[in-house]
Structure 1
Amino acid sequence: MAYNPKGASFLVQILFICIIFYLGSAFSTDPVAQQKLDRVGKLPGQNFNVNFAHYSGYVTVNEESGRALFYWFVEAVEDPDSKPLVLWLNGGPGCSSIAYGEAEEIGPFHIKPDGKTLYLNPYSWNQVANILFLDSPVGVGFSYSNTSSDITTNGDKRTAEDSLKFLLKWLERFSQFKGRDFYISGESYGGHYVPQLSKAIIRHNQATGEKAINLKGYMVGNALTDDYHDYLGLFQFWWSAGLISDDTYKQLNLLCDYESFVHPSSSCDKVLEVADNELGNIDQYSIFTPSCTASVSQSNRLLKRMHVVGHASEKYDPCTEKHSVVYFNQPEVQKALHVIPAVAPAKWETCRWHQQYTLVISLFLLLCSGVVNNNWLDSPRTVLDIYRELIHSGLRIWMFSGDTDAVIPVTSTRYSIDALNLPTVKPWRAWYDDGQVGGWTQEYAGLTFVTVRGAGHEVPLHRPKPALTLIKSFLSGRSMPCLERVSHSDS
């Protein structure tokens, strides 16, 4: 719902406010009281009890235009008062952290195929931390603005600014977390959001002379980082994974160099079409797992979203996004989560703003245009400059990569890290989870890189248990686990 208070009469403004109060969730001007009002009871379809509290609601980040961001906060399972606070951000841009991060990846409440019943995720990250999910920017998920133009003027800069304002105001509401060790994590286009917000926090703390937000570090997965290096590793991955032919690989390198992306050519377009046909009807976000035939056209392989895709649960299910759409469009679910009906979207969607393109075309639009579409105003071609700044600030910075993602592949991330020219502290090696190789890792001065074996674009969905091992290591500041060597004495 779009509403512009500047162009409305006083009576209309009062009426609008009354509708929100009448139909919406309870509201208090006292932050502590509002925290209590935000507490969520048993959710529809929740046929089990939980021993942790969780909360959801809105935080207004701009009073004049009426921009408000929607959050869902889940306390740690055990001893939340001693656990760190982790903010999770999905990307897109335009994709909901509630839809993906909470309901399909690292959150405790996952959705069964009927779209109405929940099950408890045994590998939820609230096993080790308090987790805050944020739908950002406005227009995404249940986040909204009373000024319609806000929805079409989003971009990286304002997203970081609004997210910072959200955190400062959220910590007033949840004052028990002031001063708590704070980390940010996310994936895909979150590769922009996470370091940009981290930079905003560091600069805010410097400007105010105090640690209003006690940021300790950040971690991003399969992250859009640097357009040139993301592009550089893409064709190489397709070819090395056996997805395209030798001839197409040569033609791509010959006709589709980086400059061709900035200034597209018909010859490059033609070979991209050949590559798309050779890739076939696979889930390019997870190349070795089944596609969801319920949501992907068999004839033209059009994608409903770019760069943030949910596909797995404890037992692999390629159609989890479809289940989320059913669940979060239920009025009783929205009521339980304190969604205000007057400002709720007419139809809740996992991602907003995306047009339907084949994977190859959508990816190159993102890498080469500098913006995603007409609804996204600014998107820098690289965030490596932010890495260089923040590495010197002493933050703990990790990058991880599922090695079966053909959208932002492991090769692309490695090229971006190489461009930082960081000295190696601990060389490349395998890491282990329950005696099996979970992936590989290398530690640099100021940055740790981890691959997750067999995971796609969304690591916690495809490999939930190794992903839990990953967050444990990150939060503790310890290296990824080595193989435990057991000595066997002679009998």
Structure 2
Amino acid sequence: MKVLRFACTVALLQFLCLVAIRAAPEGSLIRSIPGFTGRLPSVHHSGYVSLNGKPTGKKFLFYYFVASQRNPSKDPIVLWLNGGPGCSSFDGFVYEHGPFNFQAGQSKGSLPELHLNPFSWSKVSSILYLDSPCGVGLSYSDDPKNYATGDFQTASDTHAFLLKWFKLYPEFLSNPFYISGESYAGVYVPTLASAVVEGIRSGQQPLINFKGYLVGNGVADEYFDNNAIVPFAFGMGLISNDIFQACQKTCKGKYYNPRSQACSNNINRVYQALSDLNPYDILEPCYQYSSTKEVNKLEGLNWTFMSQKHFTKISGPRWSVRPLGRDGRVPLTQQAAATFHVPCINDDLATAWLNNESVRKAIHAAPATVAGRWMICSDRVEYSGEVDTLIPYHKNLTSQGYRALIYSGDHDRMVPFTGTQAWTRSMGYKIIEEWRSWLSNEQVAGFLQAYDKNLTFLNIKGAGHMVPQYKPMESLDFYSRWLDRKKI
């Protein structure tokens, strides 16, 4: 009887959700997912939104929309953006907080098996995954020149996408809308949020019900982010007291862009000690593809947050991966450059699933002959970094009343929490809640400090760069509480 009642409840919820999404574009509904057996836990839609390209042609941005499993007519809609720049938001869908957990197939060459994710963020919100900028993931253009972009063009294109998307799905215009992302989305999120706010101020239609944003392990400021690595390494026991004291003596607390040869030599000792670690999570092993060993073993490499820049052609002075003491990106061998694997990351499941033509057909994505092969981080985007610090963006947004949750996995070496904690404190807002622990499942899951202007800094104990991948239960906990405006 209980099983029958549950089945009827699920069926009723799905029917109501279908009714609620009555204005969705024809052909966007996903009816089945290759690799998954059973009924989808909520309604899924996907497809392309086309934008006018520059200088010519069109851009086709791919989205995958997961309706909330709780109350899609009222729950928040959260846009999710992975970073890079140039990395697909299917990283978040497959490995972090999407509706499914992916497992290897039973036989060699078979599709991955999909099972329901008990900690999906779609439990409490609708999620809109977007491959942005154009050329990333399943997004593509009919003009290769449109793969050249930068911080401002990406924000402009994503805002244009949102305006078109809400016209396609007007039934969600009244839902609270949030923007979220991780890593280089520390640039994407506040620049896009600023464009959305400017559109609201100017009366741009449709009027988006924007409420705030979340950034996970996101870059924010060249100085704060890069200067945090030495204190992080010492605090985590990755370097000796002798090395740390030598850095303090010769660098005087300024570890980024060393001003003296003695400081540079000591900083090199730090990076030598860190060279074999997984930069995304210092507790996890570094997954080795044979063709990327040379990338992972480069000695003296200043791993900043974005090893992905090995695989995306990027110009601009900020946060670049470089050998210490001289400018320029680390040179790669032909063999390493041809694979486009992100160092230490195993992307096999996502690559196998999203390059299967039956999967692409089911989710309304263009075939590989049109959109190209899916890669976790694109090799065709030419990206220009244009914003040196995002702190003024955060100040402007929070001062206007928009909510902001800045969260960090505390074992991430790419964007150390020490830098994120420092820049949020530097904004000068009044502390509303002093540093304290927060709980998940009656255990300490991390620490937070809350400020005036609806700004909260939160860290997650034992998590790496991709927080929901490492701590799914705890992530859903703080995410749902924050969205519901409950105490974390």
TM-score per shorter chain, which class? 0.7 to 0.9
Q: Measure, in 2, the Cα distance between the counterparts of 1:260 and 1:436.
A: 35
When residues 295 and 347 of structure 1 are mapped into structure 2, their CA distance, relative to the original with a 3 A threshold, is farther
Does the 8 Å CA contact 1:111/1:320 hold for their aligned counterparts? Answer: no
Identity, in percent, stands at 34
The corresponding residue for 1:387 is: 394
Question: 2:354 is matched by which residue type in structure 1?
Answer: F
The corresponding residue for 1:377 is: 384
**Deviation (angstroms), 1:249:** 3.2
When residues 295 and 324 of structure 1 are mapped into structure 2, their CA distance, relative to the original with a 3 A threshold, is farther
SS at match of 1:282: coil
Q: Measure, in 2, the Cα distance between the counterparts of 1:149 and 1:263.
A: 37
The corresponding residue for 1:43 is: 33
**Deviation (angstroms), 1:282:** 2.3
Question: 2:423 is matched by which residue type in structure 1?
Answer: S
Q: Is 1:59 aligned to 2:49, yes or no? A: yes
**Deviation (angstroms), 1:279:** 1.8
The corresponding residue for 2:96 is: 105
The corresponding residue for 1:409 is: 416
Q: Is 1:476 aligned to 2:467, yes or no? A: no
Does the 8 Å CA contact 1:88/1:133 hold for their aligned counterparts? Answer: yes
The count of corresponding residues between Structure 1 and Structure 2 is 421
Cα deviations by residue, 1:67-86 (Å, 9 ceiling, x for unpaired): 12110000111321121111
**Deviation (angstroms), 1:121:** 1.1
SS at match of 1:425: strand
Q: Which aligned pairs between 1:4-153 and structure 2 lie closer than 5 A?
A: 35-62=25-52, 64-98=56-90, 100-114=91-105, 116-151=112-147, 153=148
Q: Is 1:213 aligned to 2:204, yes or no? A: no
Q: Is 1:197 aligned to 2:192, yes or no? A: yes
The corresponding residue for 1:301 is: 296
When residues 305 and 415 of structure 1 are mapped into structure 2, their CA distance, relative to the original with a 3 A threshold, is closer
Q: Measure, in 2, the Cα distance between the counterparts of 1:325 and 1:274.
A: 36
When residues 260 and 345 of structure 1 are mapped into structure 2, their CA distance, relative to the original with a 3 A threshold, is farther
Question: 1:45 is matched by which residue type in structure 2?
Answer: G
Does the 8 Å CA contact 1:186/1:220 hold for their aligned counterparts? Answer: yes
Question: 1:386 is matched by which residue type in structure 2?
Answer: Y
Does the 8 Å CA contact 2:251/2:258 hold for their aligned counterparts? Answer: no
The corresponding residue for 1:370 is: none
SS at match of 2:49: strand
When residues 255 and 121 of structure 1 are mapped into structure 2, their CA distance, relative to the original with a 3 A threshold, is farther
Does the 8 Å CA contact 2:255/2:267 hold for their aligned counterparts? Answer: no
Cα deviations by residue, 1:274-321 (Å, 9 ceiling, x for unpaired): 433312532121111222235785566259996489xxxxxxxx8652
Q: Measure, in 1, the Cα distance between the counterparts of 2:259 and 2:137.
A: 33
Structure 1, 296-305 or 155-164: larger mean CA deviation: 296-305
The corresponding residue for 2:324 is: none
Q: Which aligned pairs between 1:161-172 and structure 2 lie closer than 5 A?
A: 161-172=156-167
Q: Measure, in 1, the Cα distance between the counterparts of 2:406 and 2:281.
A: 18
Question: 1:449 is matched by which residue type in structure 2?
Answer: F
Q: Measure, in 2, the Cα distance between the counterparts of 1:220 and 1:244.
A: 28
Q: Measure, in 1, the Cα distance between the counterparts of 2:205 and 2:252.
A: 47
Q: Measure, in 1, the Cα distance between the counterparts of 2:255 and 2:431.
A: 34
Q: Is 1:461 aligned to 2:462, yes or no? A: no
**Deviation (angstroms), 1:49:** 2.3
Q: Which aligned pairs between 1:248-259 and structure 2 lie closer than 5 A?
A: 248-250=243-245, 252=247
When residues 60 and 474 of structure 1 are mapped into structure 2, their CA distance, relative to the original with a 3 A threshold, is same
Cα deviations by residue, 1:13-65 (Å, 9 ceiling, x for unpaired): xxxxxxxxxxxxxxxxxx97762301112111112322311011110121652
The corresponding residue for 2:15 is: none
Find the partner of 1:350 among 376, 388, 392.
376
When residues 70 and 266 of structure 1 are mapped into structure 2, their CA distance, relative to the original with a 3 A threshold, is farther
The corresponding residue for 1:156 is: 151
Q: Measure, in 2, the Cα distance between the counterparts of 1:261 and 1:438.
A: 31
Cα deviations by residue, 1:95-117 (Å, 9 ceiling, x for unpaired): 0001x111111111232134522
The corresponding residue for 2:444 is: 437
Question: 1:81 is matched by which residue type in structure 2?
Answer: S
Find the partner of 2:219 among 221, 224, 228.
224
Does the 8 Å CA contact 1:179/1:212 hold for their aligned counterparts? Answer: no
**Deviation (angstroms), 1:186:** 0.8
Structure 2 stretches of 5 or more lacking a match?
1-20, 106-110, 309-343
Cα deviations by residue, 1:316-363 (Å, 9 ceiling, x for unpaired): xx8652221121111111111111227644331100249xxxxxxxxx
Does the 8 Å CA contact 2:66/2:127 hold for their aligned counterparts? Answer: yes
Does the 8 Å CA contact 2:23/2:169 hold for their aligned counterparts? Answer: no
SS at match of 1:429: strand
**Deviation (angstroms), 1:379:** 2.8
The corresponding residue for 1:365 is: none
When residues 256 and 173 of structure 1 are mapped into structure 2, their CA distance, relative to the original with a 3 A threshold, is farther
When residues 210 and 60 of structure 1 are mapped into structure 2, their CA distance, relative to the original with a 3 A threshold, is closer
**Deviation (angstroms), 1:449:** 1.1
Structure 1 stretches of 5 or more lacking a match?
1-30, 310-317, 355-373, 481-491
Q: Measure, in 1, the Cα distance between the counterparts of 2:205 and 2:189.
A: 21
Question: 1:92 is matched by which residue type in structure 2?
Answer: G
SS at match of 1:111: strand
Does the 8 Å CA contact 2:77/2:176 hold for their aligned counterparts? Answer: yes
Does the 8 Å CA contact 2:446/2:458 hold for their aligned counterparts? Answer: yes
RMSD: 2.9
Does the 8 Å CA contact 1:295/1:319 hold for their aligned counterparts? Answer: no
Does the 8 Å CA contact 1:96/1:351 hold for their aligned counterparts? Answer: yes
Q: Measure, in 2, the Cα distance between the counterparts of 1:296 and 1:266.
A: 34
- Please give the TM-score of this superposition, normalised by the length of structure 2: 0.79
Cα deviations by residue, 1:122-148 (Å, 9 ceiling, x for unpaired): 100000001000000001001111121
The corresponding residue for 1:330 is: 356
SS at match of 1:154: strand
Question: 1:144 is matched by which residue type in structure 2?
Answer: Y
When residues 297 and 51 of structure 1 are mapped into structure 2, their CA distance, relative to the original with a 3 A threshold, is closer
Structure 1, 264-273 or 133-142: larger mean CA deviation: 264-273
**Deviation (angstroms), 1:208:** 1.5
